[in-house]
């Protein structure tokens, strides 16, 4: 599981990174808001630990911009700002949880486990649309004008991830983690097969949408329409 830690207190970062890595997590660290937002928009992490008071750009603005770009990764605020209005503001801004400093590492681990137990937002009752396509996750039905086809469950989960991140390049590692799970041990060739399946589905409904390969990085769902 990949964690992005955005915190300007370097001593706290070193301590948290060491303890999280001992628990088996892969940790990326950023010490200011602008760099943290850059990493966050890469959508390559499974969880973000975010301070509110950061240089260059404060944590609230980082989270607002990320949510505006449809980044859905869970975010936990770690902050000294702990009054009621500040906690409510952080949660309303799009955070999944809010921990006030100082905190016990055991509490942080419990909060991380709680957030990670929540269902991934790959499917839902509402339809998704992009360009000339619409997709109904409940029926696994992909439609384009008067044509349609049914996706398998795995194809549906994969295509939903792309539809939730249109116009963004999604790294291969992120796709494997989000769709197959962090401990699935899926080979890259399996992902390539499903990308081929989805491209074939797009051709079958005569869609203008393209699932483009970004060499050395991952894939991008885009359209010229």
Where residue 198 sits, what CATH number does that domain have? Answer: 1.10.10.10
Q: What is the pLDDT of residue 186?
A: 67
List the one residue out of 66, 76, 118 whose CA is nearest residue 100: 76
Percent of the residues in the chain that have a pLDDT greater than 90, as a whole number: 50
**Taking the model in full, what pTM does it have?**
0.57
Q: Which of 141, 78, 150, 64 is nearest to 111 (CA)?
A: 78
Q: Are residues 98 and 145 in the same domain?
A: no
Q: Please say whether the beta carbons of 47 and 116 come within 8 A.
A: yes
Same domain, residue pair 35 and 132? no
**For residues 181 and 104, which has the higher predicted lDDT (pLDDT)?**
104
Clarify whether residues 57 and 137 are in a common domain.
no
The total number of structural domains that make up the chain = 2
**pLDDT-derived band of residue 28, with 50, 70 and 90 as boundaries?**
very high
The CATH number of the domain holding residue 100 is 3.40.50.2300
Q: Which of 117, 149, 175 is the last residue of a domain?
A: 117
3-class SS string, the chain: CEEEEECCCHHHHHHHHHHHHHCCCEEEEECCHHHHHHHHHCCCCCEEEECCCCCCCCHHHHHHHHHHCCCCCCEEEEECCCCHHHHHHHHHCCCCEEEECCCCHHHHHHHHHHHHHCCCCCCCCCCEEECCEEEECCCCEEEECCEEEECCHHHHHHHHHHHCCCCCCEEHHHHHHHHHCCCCCCCHHHHHHHHHHHHHHHHHCCCCEEEEEECCCEEEEEECC
- Together in a domain, 113 and 132: no
Whether 94 and 135 map to the same domain: the answer is: no
Task: Give the model's pLDDT for residue 122.
Answer: 44
Give the whole-angstrom CA distance, residue 191 versus residue 173: 10
Residue 125 has φ and ψ, to the nearest 5°, of -80, -20
Q: Which of 57-61, 115-119, 174-178 has the lowest mean pLDDT?
A: 115-119
pLDDT above 50 (res 84): yes
Q: Decide which of 67, 89, 117 is a domain's last residue.
A: 117
Domain of 64, in residue numbers: 2-117
Same domain, 78 and 168: no
Whether residue 143 is predicted with pLDDT greater than 90 in this model: the reply is: yes
If asked whether residues 155 and 200 sit together in one domain, one would say yes
What per-residue confidence (pLDDT) applies to 154? 86
Q: In this structure, is residue 59 part of a structural domain?
A: yes
187 burial via Cβ count (<10 Å: 0-12, 13-18, 19+): exposed
The mean pLDDT value of the chain amounts to 87
Residue 126: band (very low, low, confident or very high) from pLDDT cuts 50, 70, 90: low
Sign of CA dihedral 31, 37, 38, 41: positive
Same domain for 109 and 20: yes
Q: Are residues 102 and 150 in the same domain?
A: no
Structure tokens at 24: 């088996």
Same domain, 9 and 98: yes
The pLDDT confidence band at residue 140, using thresholds 50, 70 and 90, is confident
Which of 117, 142, 168 corresponds to the end of one domain? 117
Is residue 122 in some structural domain?
A: no
15/112 same-domain check: yes
């Amino acid at each position: 599981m990949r964690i992005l830690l955005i915190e300007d207190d370097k001593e706290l970062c070193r301590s948290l990174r060491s303890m999280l890595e001992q628990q088996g997590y892969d940790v990326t660290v950023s010490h200011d808001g602008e760099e943290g937002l850059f990493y966050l928009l890469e959508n390559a992490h499974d969880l973000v630990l975010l301070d509110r008071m950061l240089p260059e750009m404060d944590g609230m603005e980082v989270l607002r911009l990320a949510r505006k770009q449809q980044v859905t990764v869970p975010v936990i605020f770690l902050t000294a700002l702990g009054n009621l209005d500040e906690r409510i503001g952080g949660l309303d801004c799009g955070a999944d949880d809010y921990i006030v400093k100082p905190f016990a590492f055991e509490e942080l681990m419990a909060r991380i486990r709680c957030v990670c137990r929540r269902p991934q937002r790959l499917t839902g009752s509402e339809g998704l649309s992009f360009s000339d396509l619409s997709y109904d996750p409940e029926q696994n039905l992909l439609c384009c004008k008067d044509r349609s086809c049914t996706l398998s469950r795995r194809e549906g989960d994969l295509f939903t991830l792309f539809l939730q991140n249109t116009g963004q390049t999604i790294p291969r590692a992120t796709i494997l983690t989000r769709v197959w799970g962090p401990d699935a041990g899926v080979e890259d060739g399996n992902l390539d097969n499903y990308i081929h399946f989805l491209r074939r589905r797009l051709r079958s409904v005569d869609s203008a949408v393209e699932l483009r390969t970004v060499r050395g990085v991952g894939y991008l769902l885009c359209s010229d329409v």
